[in-house]
Amino acid sequence: MTKTKSGLEQLHVLLGSWVTESKTYSEGRGFTTVTPTEDGKFLRADSTAEDERFPHSTQIIGSDDAGDECTACISTRAECIVCTG
């Protein structure tokens, strides 16, 4: 029988550094680094962009061991948003 990965384990493919581009906002590239934090209990995603109109953001992503859903808290200069799903 194959063991199903937990919600957070499914996101481990995102670990590392990424360069992103947008078709809508082509003025510059974005940069995101995803790392484990708190002994692997959470993932941390730090994002910046070449275009200064877009603020630096930090996401802390966690998962309930009982299910496969993740929750992210996204923080920018202006606000903090909590997303579940």
Residues 2-14: tens digit of each pLDDT: 455 567 888 889 9
- CA-derived radius of gyration, the chain: 14
Confidence at residue 82, expressed as pLDDT on a 0 to 100 scale:
56
Q: What is the DSSP string of 3-71?
A: PPPPHHHHGGGG-EEEEE--SS-TT--EEEEEEEETTTTEEEEEEEESSTTSPPEEEEEEE-TTSS-EE
pTM of the model as a whole: 0.74
Residues 38-79: tens digit of each pLDDT: 988 889 999 998 888 888 888 888 887 776 677 777 776 655
